Amino acid sequence: MKVLYPGSFDPLTFGHLDLIKRAIDSFGEVIIAVLENPTKNSTFTVNRRLEQIKQATNQLSKIEIISYKGLTVDCAKKFQVDLILRGLRAMSDFEYELQIAHTNRSIDASIETIFLASEAHHSFLSSSVVKEVAMFGGNVDHMVPNLIANDLYEMFDIKYS
């Protein structure tokens, strides 16, 4: 079975990677779909995020990495996927994600959404938190893969090794 894991992944975190690995184990194939969202002010370009994800997942099989614009359900249909994967860290995520899942089902009832809870030690992680910590000079090595940490340090002119 194939599952679509959509998101902005700006940047990809260890929480995202954990969900990807668990989804491969549970469903077989995972399509990581990077949303090109014109309403968000992204830190990294779509092409850079795709490259970051490719490098961070190069040891994994059964994944495909794509970018898309528009509705997630349209992306799911294009790639013949009937299941959308979303991660949950806290109850506040559930309320938002449930609303999106219901919206997607109202657009196309054949598309299901499945939620995976993050591992407890990743429950604080979000791309926004990672960027904020890096922006203020904090170490993010325990939050994101090395390549992404280095990209953030370079972007915010921080010296870590």
Whether the CB-CB separation of 46 and 19 falls below 8 Å is answered with: no
Sheet containing strand 83-88, strands side by side:
63-68, 29-35, 2-7, 83-88, 112-117
Q: CA 124 to CA 3: how far, in whole Å?
A: 24
Q: Kindly state whether residue 141 falls inside one of the protein's structural domains.
A: no
CA 24 to chain centre: 14
**Structural domain harbouring 61:** 2-120
Query: Is 151 within the bounds of a domain?
Result: no
Catalytic sites, residue numbers? 16, 40, 89, 127
pLDDT in tens, 40-93: 889 999 999 999 999 999 999 999 999 999 999 999 999 999 899 999 998 888
CB contact set of 14 (below 8 Å; sequence gap of 6+) = 122, 125, 142, 143, 144, 145
What global pTM score does this model have?
0.95
pLDDT (mean) for 126-154 = 96
The answer to the question of residue 150 being in a domain is no
Tell me if 144 is assigned to some domain: no
pLDDT given for residue 161 in this prediction:
54
66, part of any domain: yes
Q: Is there a domain that residue 139 lies in?
A: no
With respect to residue 34, please indicate whether it lies within any of the assigned structural domains: yes
Backbone phi, then psi, for 77, in 5-degree steps?
Answer: -65, -45
Closest CA to 56 of 125, 109, 8, 9: 9
Domain count, the chain: 1
Q: Which amino acid is at 109?
A: A
Residue 136 domain flag? no
Q: Domain containing 47 — which CATH number?
A: 3.40.50.620
| Contact predicate 32/66, CB 8 Å | yes
Whether residue 38 has pLDDT greater than 80: yes
